[in-house]
């Protein structure tokens, strides 16, 4: 908090996302909403930490569509607003995004879509600059934390000047990079406002929408003219060869040029790739013979420049993806290879630092991702497999986006498809109607259930889809850092909030068979899951099972904070037969293997869940120390 609220004129080291948060604070926002998702999460986490001190409102919304709609309403009421999400979240919010471009806004509205080239934590690698083209919304793309902060601040004035939303697309390499950031003066936020009615503008019935479409096209032309004067776009150097770079690619290109020191090369730096700053680009290409566009993912800028050259009937050679390639994020080596090949220097050989030596790197064994020690999901998957096997049914598992996606890994392999948020329940609807001799099982988390699982469950009840929906309720949005969700009992600012129970929602929707269990109790988990599966098989209707146990990391952190002792377990070596159930079939990271193949529990990693003691077929694992009574109260 101290870094974000530093004094005017000071320079601090900030994460890119923290810098964006500081920028919107300097701009005087009064409302911020988001759904957590890497690499965007820290923006609203940072704002939530200082919300009460600054007097602004911050929320974790049920999904990205709701987050954008809520921020839009704040803007219409005279309150500057931010809606943040990861790149795939804009798919969820796209319906509102397209319409907001037609209505326009009042107070500044910044939509941040954090991009993830190379899919470090995502299911796809889409380029959301296309959303700017599709919706006619200007796109700002920063290349450093400092520029991210400056862009976030600038975007609000730009947004209000045109009464139009602004889309900002930092990439993982900017959002999760730390850099020096100079702080400017904080602006007092406007937290409350008043909505002035304008039915013709804000009610998009067809008659009104057709009028707003004309306004949008006219506004887009004005925005296209204005971006040439935006300070984040500029021409550097001079020469007959032009390199164009946007966002983080500019940083790599700049470094490559400093290394190569080529002669007669001009650089066009773009901070607003959409729309292409026409007059500035024409000035840059006016006296050049060939152009190289360096950008991540899709040829958004390259296509726009080629179109501009064609319109102006110029004869200029343009290259881009033929040298740079499509997939993955930009790197220094990749930029060096493309530029050296384009300029005919070095034959396109990837650059390597000549004076760097890290010695020989040993061959390390692969380290696949794994669920944490004590993770309740591991116990749930174990019990689910037993229940499925006991009924001799053939399951089809529809997975979802969350920690439980690791169920795709051995030994569980209980994720046959993973599509997108809420896709588990949606696809299981279809499986339920067409499969013969197989039972469809949807695996979804609590936050994802609130995000996008509800409509699909309604559909299952309405259409009587025979399916099991297993909700792994670990009480928080664990995968992105344990942010609260509607079932947690607190809001983004740490205030008490209503706890919405998933089983109550299912009951209200009309699900007739609902079982709730604690995954740390393997016997009862097995019995509950078997009962739910039997209902699906016999009644040919949907059933819901809720595995309710808090995230192990969350419990451990709370226990350490409150100085609560957790139970301790150890292996009775004389009873252990080295069967491997605990470390091969259950794969808890806190259980390792001795040279004699017997199990051994690592005390520093063990969370005291006790599941291993329940699954050991030879009763070779015992509790050696009771935990404090308060430990068990942390589960909810």
- Taking only the tens place, the pLDDT of each residue in 557-594 is 777 778 888 889 999 999 999 999 998 999 999 999 99
On average, the pLDDT of the chain sits at: 89
> Residue 297: which domain range?
233-348
pLDDT digits (tens, 9 = 90+) for 595-630: 999 999 998 889 888 999 999 999 999 998 888 777
Q: 207, 228, 249 — which closes off a domain?
A: 228
Is 391 domain-assigned? yes
Environment class of 179 (CB within 10 Å of its CB; exposed 0-12, middle 13-18, buried 19+):
middle
Question: Are residues 43 and 190 located together in one domain of the fold?
Answer: yes
Question: Are residues 534 and 577 located together in one domain of the fold?
Answer: no
pLDDT band at 556 (very low <50, low <70, confident <90, very high): confident
Mean pLDDT on 9-28: 95
pLDDT digits (tens, 9 = 90+) for 227-237: 999 999 999 98
* Strand ranges, E, within 101-191: 109-114, 139-140, 166-168, 178-182
Is 627 domain-assigned? yes
Question: Are residues 339 and 461 located together in one domain of the fold?
Answer: no
Question: Are residues 462 and 525 located together in one domain of the fold?
Answer: yes
pLDDT band at 527 (very low <50, low <70, confident <90, very high): very high
Tell me the three state secondary structure of residue 510. coil
Mean pLDDT on 369-385: 90
Q: What is the DSSP letter of 115?
A: B
What pLDDT does 120 receive? 84
Question: Are residues 220 and 258 located together in one domain of the fold?
Answer: no
Residue 354 has pLDDT above 80, yes or no: no
Mean pLDDT on 353-371: 67
What pLDDT does 403 receive? 86
Residue 271 has pLDDT above 60, yes or no: yes
Q: 198, 228, 258 — which closes off a domain?
A: 228
Q: 557, 591, 617 — which closes off a domain?
A: 557
Closest by CA to 551, choosing from 452, 503, 453, 485, is 485
Which pairs with CB-CB distance under 8 Å and at least 24 residues apart come from 525-531?
A: 525/379, 525/380, 525/383, 526/383, 526/386, 526/387, 526/390, 529/383, 529/384, 529/387, 529/468, 529/470, 530/387, 530/390, 530/391
Q: Which is more confidently placed, 159 or 631?
A: 159
Closest by CA to 259, choosing from 332, 313, 310, is 332
Is 353 domain-assigned? no
Question: Are residues 20 and 88 located together in one domain of the fold?
Answer: yes
Instruction: Assign residue 316 the CATH number of its domain.
Output: 3.40.50.920
What pLDDT does 353 receive? 56
Report residue 449 as tokens: 């259930």
Is 94 domain-assigned? yes
Instruction: Assign residue 525 the CATH number of its domain.
Output: 3.40.50.970
Instruction: Assign residue 586 the CATH number of its domain.
Output: 3.30.70.20
Q: Which is more confidently placed, 371 or 354?
A: 371
What pLDDT does 16 receive? 95
pLDDT band at 551 (very low <50, low <70, confident <90, very high): confident
pTM of the predicted model as reported, rounded to 2 decimal places: 0.82
Q: Which is more confidently placed, 480 or 114?
A: 114
pLDDT digits (tens, 9 = 90+) for 115-154: 988 888 888 889 999 999 999 999 999 999 999 999 999 9
Q: What is the domain count for the chain?
A: 4
Question: Are residues 402 and 509 located together in one domain of the fold?
Answer: yes
Question: Are residues 409 and 548 located together in one domain of the fold?
Answer: yes
Is 5 domain-assigned? no
DSSP string, 377-429: HHHHHHHHHHHHHHHT--EEEEE-SSGGGGGGSTTT---SEE-STTHHHHHHH
Question: Are residues 250 and 394 located together in one domain of the fold?
Answer: no
Question: Are residues 34 and 51 located together in one domain of the fold?
Answer: yes
What pLDDT does 401 receive? 85
């Amino acid at each position: 908090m101290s870094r974000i609220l530093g004094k005017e004129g000071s320079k601090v080291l900030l994460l890119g996302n923290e810098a964006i948060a500081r920028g919107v604070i300097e701009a005087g926002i009064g409302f911020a909403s988001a759904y957590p998702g890497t690499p965007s999460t820290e923006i609203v986490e940072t704002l939530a930490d200082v919300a009460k001190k600054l007097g602004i409102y911050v929320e974790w919304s049920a999904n990205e569509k709701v987050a954008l709609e809520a921020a839009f309403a704040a803007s219409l009421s005279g309150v500057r607003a931010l809606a943040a999400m990861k790149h795939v979240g804009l798919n969820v919010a796209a319906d509102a995004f397209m319409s907001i471009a037609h209505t326009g806004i009042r107070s500044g509205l910044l939509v941040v879509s954090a991009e993830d080239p190379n899919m470090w934590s995502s299911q796809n690698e889409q380029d959301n600059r296309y959303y700017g083209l599709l919706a006619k919304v200007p796109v700002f793309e920063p290349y450093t934390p400092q520029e991210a902060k400056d862009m976030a601040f600038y975007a609000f004035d730009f947004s209000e000047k045109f009464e139009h939303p602004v889309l900002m697309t930092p990439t993982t390499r900017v959002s999760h990079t730390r850099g020096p950031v100079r702080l400017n003066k904080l602006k007092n936020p406007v937290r409350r406002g008043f909505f002035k009615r304008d039915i013709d503008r804000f009610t998009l019935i067809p008659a009104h929408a057709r009028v707003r479409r004309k306004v949008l096209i006219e506004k887009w032309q004005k925005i296209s003219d204005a971006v040439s004067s935006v300070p984040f776009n500029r021409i550097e150097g001079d020469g007959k060869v032009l390199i164009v770079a946007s966002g983080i690619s500019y940083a790599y290109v700049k470094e490559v040029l400093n290394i190569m020191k080529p002669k007669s090369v001009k650089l066009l730096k773009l901070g607003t790739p959409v729309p292409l700053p026409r007059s500035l680009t024409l000035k840059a290409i006016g006296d050049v013979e060939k152009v190289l566009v360096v950008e991540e993912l899709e040829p958004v800028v390259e296509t726009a420049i080629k179109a501009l050259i064609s319109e102006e009937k110029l004869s200029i050679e343009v290259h881009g993806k033929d040298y740079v390639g499509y997939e993955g994020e930009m790197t220094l080596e990749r930029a060096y290879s493309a530029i050296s090949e384009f300029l005919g220097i070095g034959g396109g050989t990837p650059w390597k630092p000549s004076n760097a030596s890290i010695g020989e790197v040993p061959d390390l064994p692969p380290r696949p991702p794994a669920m944490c020690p004590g993770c309740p999901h591991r116990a749930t998957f174990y019990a689910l497999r037993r229940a499925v096997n006991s009924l001799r049914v053939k399951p089809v598992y529809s997975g979802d986006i969350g920690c439980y996606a690791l169920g795709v890994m051995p030994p569980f392999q209980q994720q046959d498809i993973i599509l997108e948020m809420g896709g588990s329940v949606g696809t299981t609807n279809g499986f339920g109607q067409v499969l013969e001799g197989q039972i469809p099982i949807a695996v979804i988390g609590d936050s994802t259930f609130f995000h996008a699982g509800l409509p699909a469950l309604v559909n299952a009840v309405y259409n009587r889809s025979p399916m099991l929906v297993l909700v792994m309720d670990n009480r928080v949005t664990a995968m992105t850092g344990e942010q609260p969700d509607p079932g947690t009992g607190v809001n983004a600012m740490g205030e008490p909030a209503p706890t919405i129970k998933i089983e109550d929602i299912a009951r209200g929707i009309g699900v007739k068979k609902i079982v709730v269990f604690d995954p740390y109790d393997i016997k009862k988990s097995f019995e509950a899951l078997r009962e739910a599966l039997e209902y699906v098989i016999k009644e040919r209707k949907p059933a819901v099972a809720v595995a309710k146990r808090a995230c192990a990391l969350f419990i451990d952190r709370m226990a350490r904070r409150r100085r609560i002792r957790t139970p301790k377990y150890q292996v009775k070596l004389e009873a252990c037969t080295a069967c491997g159930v605990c470390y091969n079939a259950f794969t808890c990271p806190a259980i390792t293997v001795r040279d004699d193949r017997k199990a051994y529990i690592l005390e520093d990693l063990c969370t005291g869940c006790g599941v291993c003691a329940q699954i050991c077929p030879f009763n070779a694992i015992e509790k050696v120390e009771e935990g404090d009574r308060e430990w068990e109260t942390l589960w909810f």
